[in-house]
């Protein structure tokens, strides 16, 4: 039985997204001690305080509940305009409100992504700032910035690049070790 439960999501809504495909590769590469639950951000509406005040929409509540039940988060992000995509920022905005009840607070997290000639270096840096602002413990190494991602997958969304597969496997193993530290500390505190 897996000892670590991870909720994972991609910052892309496109079904044929390379980052959604990279997320599936990461889930498949996870060590047997890690269970990866993929969450789809598609049903989450645009954040609107008026909507929130009237009652948190069901897809948002489900997202928050899944995050709360997780030991850690894995986020796979494309890069849009040198930053994270709006859909990803929107989901984070919903999940971190109200601040005092945010399920993000204190969770370990890891980030990866694939893009053009620079991969997703700038988006990951920006996302790390956002997550650290919620007191999340974001794994720093190893890093997975899949450069020229379109060349690494076939037309059916299957990863064809063995060095990328090896990097993702090492990343997921390191993420298990990273997450165990926080799960162990939480257990010792009786949480």
Which residues constitute the domain of residue 168?
Answer: 4-188
Q: How many domains does the chain have?
A: 1
pLDDT tens for each residue of 118-140 = 889 999 999 999 999 989 999 99
Segment 51-70 shows an average pLDDT of 96
CATH number of the domain residue 57 falls in:
3.40.50.360
Determine the pLDDT at residue 15: 86
DSSP per-residue string spanning 78-146: --BTTB--HHHHHHHHHHT-SGGG-TTTT-EEEEEEE-BTTBTHHHHHHHHHHHHTTT-EE--SS--EE
The whole-angstrom separation of Cα 68 and Cα 63 is: 9
- What region does 50 belong to: left with phi over 0, alpha with psi -120 to 50, or beta? alpha
Determine the pLDDT at residue 188: 60
């Amino acid at each position: 039985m897996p000892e670590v439960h991870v909720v994972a999501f991609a910052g892309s809504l496109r079904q044929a997204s390379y980052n959604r495909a990279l997320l599936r590769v990461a889930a498949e590469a996870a060590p047997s001690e890690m269970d990866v639950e993929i969450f789809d951000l598609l049903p989450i509406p645009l954040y609107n305080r008026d909507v929130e005040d009237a009652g948190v929409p069901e897809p948002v509540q489900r997202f928050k509940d899944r995050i709360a039940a997780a030991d850690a988060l894995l986020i796979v992000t494309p890069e849009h305009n040198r930053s994270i995509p709006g859909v990803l920022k929107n989901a984070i905005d919903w999940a971190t409100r109200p601040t005092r009840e945010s399920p993000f607070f204190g969770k370990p997290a890891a980030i990866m992504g694939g893009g053009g000639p620079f991969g997703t270096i700038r988006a990951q840096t920006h996302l790390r700032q956002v997550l650290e602002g919620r007191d999340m413990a974001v794994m720093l190494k190893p890093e997975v910035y899949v450069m020229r991602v379109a060349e690494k997958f076939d037309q059916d969304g299957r990863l064809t690049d063995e060095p990328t597969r090896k990097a993702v496997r090492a990343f997921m193993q390191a993420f298990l070790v990273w997450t165990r530290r926080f799960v162990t500390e939480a257990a010792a505190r009786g949480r």
